[in-house]
Structure formats: structure tokens, C-alpha cells
Structure 1
Amino acid sequence: MALPTQPVTPVPPQRLRFMNEDDAKFLHTGQVLASTLYAHGLGPGSRLLDVGSGYGRLAVGLMSSGYSGRYLGFDILRRHVRWCRQNLTADPRYGFAHLDVVNARYNPDGTIPAAEARFPAPDGSRDYCALFSVFTHFYADDIRRYLAEIRRVLVPGGLAATTWFLFDDARLPAVTGERSAFRLVHQLDDVTRYETPADPLKAIGYEESFMRRLAEEAGLEVVSVTRGSWAGDQPPEQYQDLVVLRRRVLGRD
């Protein structure tokens, strides 16, 4: 008698992936992202909005983790959304949307300025938002808009996991030094630094106090900041700097 076959996890074609990511790395990254969310407040049944869902790393990681909530991912790259819709929506709890937001690095011909973007989710409809490697490629005005949208779609007390490249005076030697994966040696203004003059959004970082001010202005609380290893000054458990935000509860908005 034939043994039952295990379902095959869909993996995107190489042409869709960044940084020559192979299948093993794709699957491992998805598991790491899912584990990161669980460790920072995502519940098995949480309604999750994945902002910048890419070619499905987090979605695939959740599928193999026992996640039972409703997942909606959206991305600015149509080709990524198309593949995810074709390959990752057999489970009706998973959905993907395209939002044609302008980004000088990834979508210069987009039709929606980032500062005018509206997430494809109703007010107060999500328990959790995830933004991995989004603010590391955004200018400050665009971050302001996305933080406001995070607050809008979250329930009071809802959480958002966001990643950044952060610095302060004490960390500046590390983020500009030889051991940093991205040497933020160029200064856009007093609170913004970047690595590559020809492509500032390849890697852009912000002073931590400025990040906190942006969150406060958006009606979000900073729950925790976990510095990553990208600057060469931390253990390798977390790569980018992880900032967990919370929408203020009713009465404190």
C-alpha cells in the first residue's frame, strides 16, 4: 500500500528572489520570521497584516507553524503578489494584495506616493502587523504615513513588529565602521544616515530617538527595541533592529 505523501511546500522561482536566496534559505528565513512574531506577541489565531509580503517567506513560515489566524499580505511588486496568489492561497485564510506604491529603489514607476498609501485593510481589523525590511528602505515622510496606517488598521492594544537600522551617539562608530554590513557613513540630515549616495534606499537608518518620536506622533507605543547584528556590535540572533510597537488602548489614544 502506498504511503501518504507529504504536501510539498511551494517555493518561488529563483528569478523572483533577492540576494541569490536558495530554497533552504527561503524556508529557514520564513521559519525565523514566524518565530520572531510568536516571540513578540503574535497569537496562533491573530489576524495578521504582512506589510511588504514579498514572495511569501513569512506566509510559508506561518503555514508550517500551526498558525490558524487570517493572514493578508501586500506588496508593491506585482510579480511577487501574482506568484503568491497563484501558489499560496489554497488555504482561504491566506490572501495577497498589490499596492502600487512608489519606492525609488524597488518601484520607481509606481502610481501611489508612499506618503498617500492606504493599507488594504479596514480600520481596527488587525491584531498584528509585520513589517520586515520595509523601513530600512524608506524615507522618513513615508515611514510617517505607514506608522499612521499601522495605527489605523490595528485594534487598540494591537502590536506591530518592525525592523530598522537604528543608531545613537554611542552606536555611531559601529554603524559607520568596517564590521557593519551597511556602513551608514553618509548623512541626509541630523537623524538620517545611509550607505550608498547613488542609491540611498539600499540601506537607510535613523537615530533611535527619532524613531521613538515618529511612533509617538502616530499614536503608537514602543514596547521593545532589540538591536540586531547588522552593525557588527551584537550577537547574531537578530539581524536588523527589531522594534515592537503597540497601538495605545482606548482612553490613551
Structure 2
Amino acid sequence: MLARAALSLRLRTADLRDRVTGRADALVPPRRLEHIGHSDFVATGDEFARHFVALGGLRPSDRVLDVGCGIGRMARPLTALLGPDGSYDGFDIDPSGVDWCREHYAAFPRFRFQAVDVANPRYNPGGALAAHAFRFPYEDGAFDFVLLTSVFTHLLPGDVDHYLAEIARVLAPGGRLFATFFLLDDEARALVAAGRSSLAFRLDARSDGLPPGDENHAVVDPEIPEEAVAFATAWVGAALARHGLREAGRHPGSWCGRAAFTSYQDILCAERPH
């Protein structure tokens, strides 16, 4: 209780400092709402906006779906990238973040936000819907560009597989997927085993009853496996193919201690063929 009160006081003090120094603007939420993710809100959003264009092929006319939109970290820079023919929809399991976005994006009628009550032991333990059974609240082929940042890193294999099926369903032919992962290729496994990774994935143990020797995924915390989840690249590739998605680019992250990287998490791009 005392720790929570101290954190609240620090964040509110930071909010006051932001107003004095000019950091605050209509689409940057108060720091006390930034409870998911620890990177700088503006810098991270701007970084990924560049990646959406350069790596994912985002176009001004695209209909964009942001899975796990949070408090608008990715929505804010997209207000400048999407043109009058483009649109943005985002959903998230945090209703307070969605409410904040609905209020502050009122001047952008083509930006829409929904709260969904999907269960996640880390972020929404009391959620009514299981992730592996959740149907995205959109029609088939409704989007040209689907993005997920720091979502698959908190889902287990069955949930990821289901989300990929839903992504394939809501993508129009020729549509593109942009997603971040912790991907376990040979280099990442070696760096994790050598203790170079910022996340201590348990490569020699499973947390969910999978048989010994299964190498599809690894977690950091067996008590709360969704805290951080890494996937074998071969498993991800097979899951994409299973749902009719074709990999279109893989860009390594620094999380495991690589010397050359694009961002912190690995970035994977895919497309739904025409």
C-alpha cells in the first residue's frame, strides 16, 4: 500500500513537471496512466511509426487495427501518418486506457477505441473471455494493416495461434501484419544460455505441462507465464502458414543481447496474399 502510494505521488509530481515544461499535449496521457510498459511514450510511438512505414509498408489510406492499443502509444503518431481515406481502430483489455483515448481523440472521428474483457493473468486476471476463444469485434477483411506491439510477448501458444487466425480473418487480401515477439532462433538461445539476455527465459523447463523437450516457447516466470513469453521461430513460421499468412520480413531485437538490432523486441512482418 505504501509503495503504491509513493509511486502515485511520483507520477503525479512528474505530471505536474510535464505541464510546466511543456511535455503534456492532448494525445500524451498523464504518466500515472502509463502502467503497462516502461518505455518513453512519445519516443517509442515515434520509433514504431517509422517502422510501420519502412518495414511494414504502412500507407496513408490504410485501415489500421491496433491489437492491444493501450493508452494510444501507437495511435498518437498515426494521426499524422493516416490520411483522410485511412482509419484506425484499437482495442484493449484496460477500460481506463480506452476511456482516456475516447475522450482525447474526439477530434479524430476516424480513430475508434473499444474495451474488451479478455482475461490475462498479468494485466486482466478477472477477464470474462479466454484469449483463445475471443473473436475480434470486426468484420472479415475489414483492415489493411494490423499491428501488435508487446502483445504476443504476453500470450501463450494457444492464444497466439488463435489471434493469428483472427488477424488473418480481419485482414483484407494484400493486407499486412506488423507484430513484435521474443523470437528464439539459434543466436537468441545461445545468448540467453550465456546470460547475455535482459530476460532470463527458462529454456530447459516448461511452465504449462508441455512434455520435456518441447521447444516451441519459453517463459521467465512459471508462476505468471504471461509475464514474458518467447517463441521458437519455426513455430511462429508454421503458425503463420497455417492461417494463410506469408512472412515478409524479420528484424532482430536487442532483448537477448545482440550487437546488431532494429528495436528492443524482434519485429516480424507478414502479409495475407491476394
Pick from 51, 57, 80: which aligns with 2:67? Answer: 51
What TM-score does the superposition give when structure 1 sets the normalisation length? 0.89
More helix by share: 2
Give how far 1:70 is off: 0.4
Question: Structure 1 residue 66: deviation in Å?
Answer: 5.5
Q: Which letter maps to 1:160? A: L
Percent identity reads: 38
Q: Partner of 1:134 in structure 2? A: 151
**Unaligned residue ranges in structure 2 (runs of 5+):** 1-23, 207-213
Q: For 2:258, which of 228, 233, 239 is the aligned residue? A: 233
Q: Verify the 8 A CA contact 1:228 1:234 in the aligned structure 2.
A: no
1:75 partner amino acid: D
Alpha-carbon distance between aligned partners in 2 of 1:101 and 1:121, rounded to the nearest angstrom: 16
Query: C-alpha distance in 2, partners of 1:52/1:18?
Result: 14
* Aligned positions of 1:23-42 closer than 5 A: 25-39=40-54, 40-42=56-58
Provide structure 1 residue ranges, at least 5 long, that are not aligned to the other structure.
1-6
Q: Secondary structure at the match of 1:81?
A: helix
TM-aligned CA deviation for residue 20 of structure 1: 7.7
Question: What is the correspondence of 1:90-169 to structure 2 with a 5 Å cutoff?
Answer: 90-169=107-186
Q: Does the aligned pair in 1 maintain the 2:182–2:231 contact within 8 Å?
A: yes
Q: Could you tell me how far 1:33 is from its partner in structure 2?
A: 1.5
Is 2:124 the partner of 1:86? Answer: no
1:182 matched to which residue of 2?
199
Aligned to 2:230: 205
Decide whether aligned partners of structure 1 residues 177 and 216 sit closer, same or farther in structure 2, where only a CA change above 3 A counts. same
Of 28, 31, 42 in structure 2, the residue corresponding to residue 11 of structure 1 is: 28
* 2-structure distance, mates of 1:181, 1:58: 24
Contact 1:74 1:81 in 2 (8 A): yes
Match status 1:76 vs 2:101: no
1:215 partner SS:
helix
RMSD: 1.9
Give, in whole Å, the separation in 2 of the partners of 1:64 and 1:203. 32
Cα offset for 1:48?
0.2
Structure 1 match to 2:267: 242
Change (3 A) 1:86 1:136: same
State TM-score, norm by structure 2: 0.83
Contact 2:152 2:160 in 1 (8 A): yes
Q: 2-side partners of 1:98 and 1:234: how far apart?
A: 38
